[in-house]
Structure 1
């Protein structure tokens, strides 16, 4: 007799190769659109709960600043920006803290754009970017003072392997600092799992986990001083603003078809998923967590 396992939404579907192909295709095609729609920092913004009217750009910079503080990034640290996107965090780490930053991503177009942005910001001598799988790097043991992961952990199909690799390449006493999409908990109903699966497909990510699962994984792997924080309430306005940006574009058929011709038919599905992400936050399915941990010295 066969048994059917209930889908919890907390595992990768398909092969790692297929996921990596989807990630490369997604970001290589959409790197300019992301920047056009979301600005320099293509990640969530952070708002004070009693000051919700800060601009999106200010809030996005604030997310990086808050994560720097939360992680206790030291001045002049050697940092791996794991899943570096178009380099905005790397630029801030180099400019604000004098860090030397090496960024890695699966997207050739992100490497190109990050290199351009770092040069324009005057930190090209303290930053470098290349294509590399963050779960299987070629760095020697004990290389970095900090591994910084801004909204890239959700892309990793094997979270344990990713955290283990980061532990390996950190110096003793080095710190892992992560901001990532998380799920509310591990008891989602089928409709909630279906919503997550739709978002995974359209945003080319693997899967999310509850924040406490990351703390447990870090402890099991041998990290010390593990700390977590849920920033959901501080970042949820990101998707209301994003939906407001996308709505008028979707009402303009000529714009949509121009994108389809330039980017392919998947762009229509991607734009339609922006309000679905807002729905995931509104329905308390998606959360946003940060965590930090230290490699014992």
Structure 2
């Protein structure tokens, strides 16, 4: 069977172990390279000179607007990272937020950051598998998934779990790495597989696949949008940050000693992500959907 690059290739247990190891080991490096928001930025096409930190906060604001997240909502931040989005939702919209992740270091850091931001009473961060959460049915007004869907080995099962957790009328709001289409050349598939390994990602799907999955599962008012052109500057800047690091023998030695060869391979793969965007293999998409009342 021809490999399309759009399927999960491996065991879930191994993927979860890779995700935990990746983020537990890299939490300090991620924050050093990307800042408090370890996700893509959003740039206006006529103003690409904005700092990545402002652009990353812009992504959260744009996703709030696109998803029509209501003030005071009970929100599940599914794949919460170090809690930056949860904090913005709590602080700016007075939301009550639970953030879940497989990484104990992310739970620790997110809890610290929420306390520093003064929203500890509105946020909780927990170790939990987003594919099989322990929350009762209809627990949330909003399920927020900012760059975690690409980690999920079974996209349909993940979206079904999100549907279960939503109250009637509740909203699913997702931003995720996407593939271009299902007609990739072998070299493009190899590039994706390399990125999956080095970034501890399961696989990506084209954006229209997500729209169809949501409709098949019974979501209503499904809408998608391609934000690739607004997000691609992320990897131009990231490659510029990574380039001097991997060329510094002292940094490389310290990285290898502290983190191991897998982590050095990750830093070395940052320019490959830029290549994936430049070649049109990787794209950035958002979608929203509503659980019928």
Structure 1 stretches of 4+ moved >2 Å: none
The question of 1:212 aligning with 2:217 is answered no
- Give the corresponding residue for 2:138: 142
Q: Does the residue aligned with 1:171 lie in a helix, a strand or coil? A: strand
- Give the corresponding residue for 1:129: 125
- Give the corresponding residue for 2:221: 225
Q: Distance in 2 between matches of 1:215 and 1:62?
A: 24
The question of 1:94 aligning with 2:90 is answered yes
Deviations along 1:192-242, one digit per CA (max 9) or x if unpaired, are: 000000000000000000000000000000000000000000000000000
49, 57, 61: which is aligned to 2:57? 61
Structure 2 gap ranges (5+): none
Structure 1 gap ranges (5+): none
Q: TM-score, normalised by structure 2?
A: 1.00
- Give the corresponding residue for 2:178: 182
* Number of residue pairs the alignment of both structures matches: 293
How much does 1:267 deviate?
Answer: 1.6
- Give the corresponding residue for 1:195: 191
Deviations along 1:173-210, one digit per CA (max 9) or x if unpaired, are: 00000000000111111110000000000000000000
Q: Does the residue aligned with 2:72 lie in a helix, a strand or coil? A: coil
- Give the corresponding residue for 1:256: 252
Q: TM-score, normalised by structure 1?
A: 0.98
Query: Any residues of structure 2 matched to 1:22-171 within 5 Å, and which?
Result: 22-171=18-167
Q: Distance in 1 between matches of 2:71 and 2:34?
A: 29
Q: Distance in 2 between matches of 1:208 and 1:224?
A: 23
Q: Distance in 2 between matches of 1:251 and 1:11?
A: 34
